[in-house]
Structure 1
Amino acid sequence: MRKTHRPLTTLALALSLFMAALEVTVVSTAMPTVVGELGGLQSYAWVFTAYMLSSTITVPIYGKLSDLYGRKPILLFGTGLFLIGSIASGLSTSMNMLIAFRTLQGLGAGAMQPISLTIIGDIYTIEERGKVQGAFSAVWGIAGLVGPLTGGLIVKYLSWHWVFFINVPVGVATSLLLMAFFHEQVQRKPQRLDYAGAVLLSAGVVALLFGVQGVGRNMLALPVAALMLGAFVFVERRVPEPVIPMSIFKQPAIAISSVAGACFSAAMFGSTTYVPLYVQAVLGGSPTLAGGMITPMIVAWPAAALLAGRVMLKTGFRPLIVGGLGLTVAGTGAMALLLRPDSPIVLLQLAMGVFGVGLGFASTALLIAVQTSVGWELRGVATASNMFFRTIGGVLGVGIMGGVMVSQLIKDPNIPLSAANALLGPDHGHGVPEEMLKTLSGALGTGLSINFWLICAFSVAAFAAGLFFPRVSRQAGTPISTADAAAPH
């Protein structure tokens, strides 16, 4: 059995996370321009939710598969699927094509972040893990710095199609490093994947997303979602190898981390989705300025996460969680108050930075608390379940906000929704009657202002959940070598 080369394996995992981080910053910067070219402002939210939805559904499935068959093959498969989806997204010629291929891209992304973080949990001790997780957060910081600028330059000098193609060389490098330097020995046992649970979970989440948007007949999907998710819980309690073992939620740390993670992710994804849209469509800013508005959050997050990893063994999990989530409330509250045409940009960026500091403290502590609560045989599914709830929170949050935005745009039946696409064109409304443009801009601004208060409300909900976080014991573990990684602990 060959031994894992930890530094180069860690580099491969960092590159994997870099792709995910770059995807957020570059695509958020470019999307208003994409909608301006392809049309379909009413489908704006779906470009994000399709990606997040498909990755959300597959996160717990990939987590379970990694516990059954090993981390390496699942991560390589997910990376390959992500690259195929990236290339196809870059070749899209319509919004429907882009949404479809973003779905394919998300099917691969569901493996990348949770499996990468699980491998870190496998090959590092708890003393090392906090520092490594913090250092990994620096990847998001780098992406936060280069992503908006890169996205703006690509849109200006090349074409928005290239924001998807830049993933390809990074993904190829990641796969080659993993194949050469990460080795694990998995003790295979006769086990079956819970296909019924996977189907019920997928159907329930899709129905829930349609229902929470609250536009027209979509709300009829809510009882369907309740039925599907109720059946999912029923099945998971009875099958021998569930996709998400319900027993892990008996651990208060895991249950509360799931709730808090869902709420703060709704706030985080909502801000990265709709703040750039507000800057471009309402304020008339450039793509680079729009992307630069979320940069302070994405840079402050890893800086705070790095600090959290260093002090966690001294302070414990709870102070970082409660204090961090409190800062997210302060940041998003200030953002909701300040996101107005007459507000100084620097104050908006400061609010986003405070939000990012809070996210860095809380998210790092919550994740490591979850991984500390279980042994190796459940670490993959526990990590994936935590990431699942974070992503589902983001999906539902963006979906709800998309419904709010569209409902404001369709209030006046005399103005076609398609005219709103002109707000995102290169000439910012050229060719649209001034009165119609004023009405559309006002409606969009109202919808987005409501969304910013919803972002604050999600942060408040996360903080409330964090207040119930228990005082988890911080026992130092020993590194688990990849030679005996499959052995129960």
Structure 2
Amino acid sequence: MMAEASDTLKNLSHSSSKEGEPSVEAQFVEESAGATSREHESRQSYLKGFRLSLCLFLTNIEIPIVTTALVSITNDLGAFDRASWVISAYLLGYVSVLIIFSKLSDVFGRKLTLLAVVLIFAIFSGACGASQTIEQLIVFRAFQGVGGAGTNSLATVILIELVPSEKYAKYTSAVSLVYSLSLLLGPILGGAISQYATWRWIFLINVPSAVAAAVVLFLTIPNGFPYHGVPRHERPNGGHTLSRASLRRIDYIGTTLLLLSTLSIVAALEEAGLRFPWKSAYVITLLIIAGVGWTVFLLWERRVTLHAKVQEPVFPWRFVQSRVWVGMLLTVFFLGAPFFATNFQLPQRLQIVNGLSPTDAGVRVIPFTLAAPLGSVLAPIVCKVGKVPPIYLVIFAAVVQVIGFSLISTLPYSKTPIAAQYGYEIIAGFGCGINITLLILMTPFSVQARDKGAITQFRVMGGAIGLAIVTAVFNSLVRGQLGGQLSSAELNALLTSPATITTFPPDVQETIRVKFADGYALQAKVLAGLAAGQIPASLLMWQGKQIMV
């Protein structure tokens, strides 16, 4: 019976096929083979995505893992007053090369460039761990940021090239999960390592991890990616990536002007009210350089965009000509400030004002670091499943941030954190997380593929400048309020190493902690104002037909 049924099926399949067409059986085999091939290709894409996500994890964890350990690091090096530079230097390194590396990968190839930046990250992580002075640490952190920026940029570009646009939402959620783990584990690991070992391991542990990641990438990423399946004569430049024409595409002058302008304004704000008065020649000169630099930068980018035949601008003038894209860049800029600054100031407040250990501080920051990735994961799902235009959630998230940071600014001084603080952290973090993911998710539907890196660059730039602003505000308030109660030597010693608080009489210790709490509350007010800047900026993104993902 089985044999007869088989023969009958074969006869039916042959009789139902027209001459010259494959039989039903042949079609079935062909479709099965195609399905198997697609399944294999999908598995390979997921595996490559997982390996690239490991690189993203290493670079993303560098901010939260260091912020919790900053008090320990600066106490050891005697430079708490320059603690923000340890974060700012990393962010500035990020800003300076984030876009450049994606263009360099067009010249030298994705694989070779990614391996190079991962190794740069490993080398300068080791240098950070070996630093003997705060100046050395700041310089090495900047170069570590260069490696981190390249790794983040290229891993993101390759992930985008691995999947079609209809799967962006799914992959964005997966990458958000990696980002979530880095935010969640970073403060805890940073606190635990600095408390039970030495803060140097925070950087040194990156060396074997990054080297292992480089080896895996070397073995798994095909040579010539993403053109590895294309005949060499059909690839760009005939398969020869390095050429004089390719190198001319890079906007070296624009990159230099961007870095100089950002560095000048960050340096002015970081040092104003601390080492130099606001009216000093140092601060005024840097602010003038920043203003002139930004002006020249914009004029240069306009010239390159309109007249250059080969060179690709860092900030294409088409950004200015698109209301939606201007709104997106401004929104992500105002998002970077509260997000990065909160990761910086919350652990400090918990350690200095509340007297918690680094580990305890890391644990109590979890509400913010968990709520942010939760918002990042849920937002694309709501947009995809509920058919909700992302712009609605972007505006909603900005309002939520304003509420959260405004509530944080009302926190009174107390020896132990009040329970309401954790709720405020959740509100602020959830709002930040929503917009971090949605603005990235909307990018492929708004701009050309070559412009995708601008979103991350502007968020990091906003973080660097925002961190400098809240640092200047904090320094001015604390110095002004404690200047009449402590001698100059005592105040300098306190701002150099907060551990010296315990050397003062109990009543003076109480006063110092109250003034520090006032400084952190003022910072939160500034962050609420910066978060509010996202609302009018996001309204610029409003369109007759909204972007759907």
TM-score over 0.5 for the pair: yes
Share of identical aligned residues, percent?
Answer: 26
Q: Give the equivalent residue in structure 2 for 1:124.
A: 163
| Matched residue SS, 2:408 | helix
**In the alignment, is residue 282 of structure 1 matched against residue 353 of structure 2?**
yes
Q: What SS is found at the alignment partner of 2:342?
A: helix
> Which is further off, 159-168 or 233-242?
233-242
Give the CA RMSD over aligned residues.
Answer: 2.4
Give the deviation of 1:267 after TM superposition: 0.4
Could you tell me how far apart the structure 1 residues matched to 2:220 and 2:398 are? 38
Q: State whether residues 89 and 142 of structure 2, in contact with CA within 8 Å, keep that contact through their aligned partners in structure 1.
A: yes
Which range moves more in the overlay, 180-189 or 50-59?
180-189
User: Which residue in the other structure is 1:485 paired with?
Assistant: none
Q: Which residue does 1:363 correspond to in 2?
A: 436
Q: Tell me the distance in 2 between the aligned counterparts of 1:15 and 1:349.
A: 30
| Partner in structure 2 of residue 195 of structure 1 | 252
Q: How much does 1:180 deviate?
A: 2.5
Aligned counterparts of 1:345 and 1:141: Cα–Cα separation in 2: 25
Distance 1:347 1:221 in 2: 41
**Which protein has greater RCO, CA pairs closer than 8 Å, 6+ apart?**
1
Is 1:143 paired with 2:182? yes
8 A Cα contact 1:422 1:432, kept in partner: no
Aligned residues: 468
Report the alpha carbon displacement of residue 67 of structure 1 after superposing the two structures with TM.
4.6
Offset, 1:102: 0.9
Q: What one-letter code is carried by the residue in structure 1 that aligns with 2:168?
A: R
- SS of the equivalent of 2:236 reads coil
What is the CA–CA distance in structure 2 between the aligned matches of 1:245 and 1:105, rounded to whole Å?
27
Provide the rounded CA distance (Å) in 1 between the counterparts of 2:363 and 2:325. 34
Shift of 1:383: 2.3
Alignment correspondent of 2:321: 250
Gaps of 5+ in 2: 1-40, 228-234, 238-242
Looking at structure 1, the residues matched to 421 and 369 of structure 2 have their Cα atoms a distance apart, in angstroms, of 14
Aligned CA distance change for structure 1 residues 366 and 224 (closer, same or farther; 3 Å): same
Letter in 2 for 1:280: Q
Aligned to 1:52: 91
Within 2, Cα distance between the matches of 1:9 and 1:249? 36
Q: In the alignment, is the contact (CA less than 8 A) between 2:79 and 2:496 conserved in 1? A: no
CA contact (8 A) 1:276 1:291 kept: yes
Q: 1:339 Cα shift?
A: 5.6
* Match of residue 107, structure 1, among 132, 146, 149: 146
Are 2:498 and 1:424 equivalent residues in the alignment?
Answer: yes
Q: Gaps spanning 5+ residues in structure 1: where? A: 477-489
Separation (CA, whole Å) in 2 of partners of 1:410 and 1:385: 37
Report if aligned partners of 1:141, 1:302 keep a CA contact under 8 Å in 2. yes
Q: Which structure: larger Rg? A: 2
Cα distance in 2, alignment partners of residues 331 and 75 from structure 1? 38
1:385 pairs with 2:458: no
Deviation string 1:343-362 (CA, Å, 9 cap, x unpaired) is 85432122212222222222
Cα distance in 2 between the residues matched to 1:156 and 1:342: 20
Provide closer, same or farther for how the CA distance between residues 123 and 253 of structure 1 changes in structure 2, counting only shifts above 3 A: farther
CA distance in 2, matches of 1:78, 1:92: 21
1:41-68, Cα deviation, whole Å (9 max, x unpaired):
2111111111111211211222333455
- SS, match of residue 232 in structure 1: helix
Match of residue 406 from structure 1: 475
Counterpart-to-counterpart distance in 1, 2:145 and 2:236 = 29
| Whole-Å separation in 2 of the counterparts to 1:50 and 1:311 | 36
Contact 2:324 2:540 in 1 (8 A): no
Q: Distance in 1 between matches of 2:434 and 2:502?
A: 45
User: Residues of 2 paired with 1:437 and 1:102: CA distance?
Assistant: 33
1:482: which partner in 2? none
Q: How far apart, in 2, do the equivalents of 1:415 and 1:263 lie?
A: 36
Amino acid at match of 2:226: E
- What's 1:230 paired with? 295
Q: CA deviation at 1:306?
A: 1.8
How far the C-alpha of 1:287 sits from its partner, in A, is 0.7
What is the CA-CA distance between 1:10 and the residue it aligns to?
0.6
TM normalised by structure 2 equals 0.80
Q: Please report how far the alpha carbon of residue 286 of structure 1 lies from its aligned counterpart in structure 2 after TM superposition.
A: 1.2
The Cα offsets for residues 254-290 of structure 1, whole Å up to 9 and x where unpaired, read as 2112111111110011111111111111111111222
Secondary structure of the residue that 2:226 maps to in structure 1?
coil
1:464 matches 2:536: yes
User: Could you tell me how far 1:342 is from its partner in structure 2?
Assistant: 6.7
Q: Is the 8 A contact 2:262 2:465 kept in 1?
A: no
Aligned amino acid, residue 295 of structure 1: I
What SS is found at the alignment partner of 2:452? helix
Correspondence for 2:380: 309
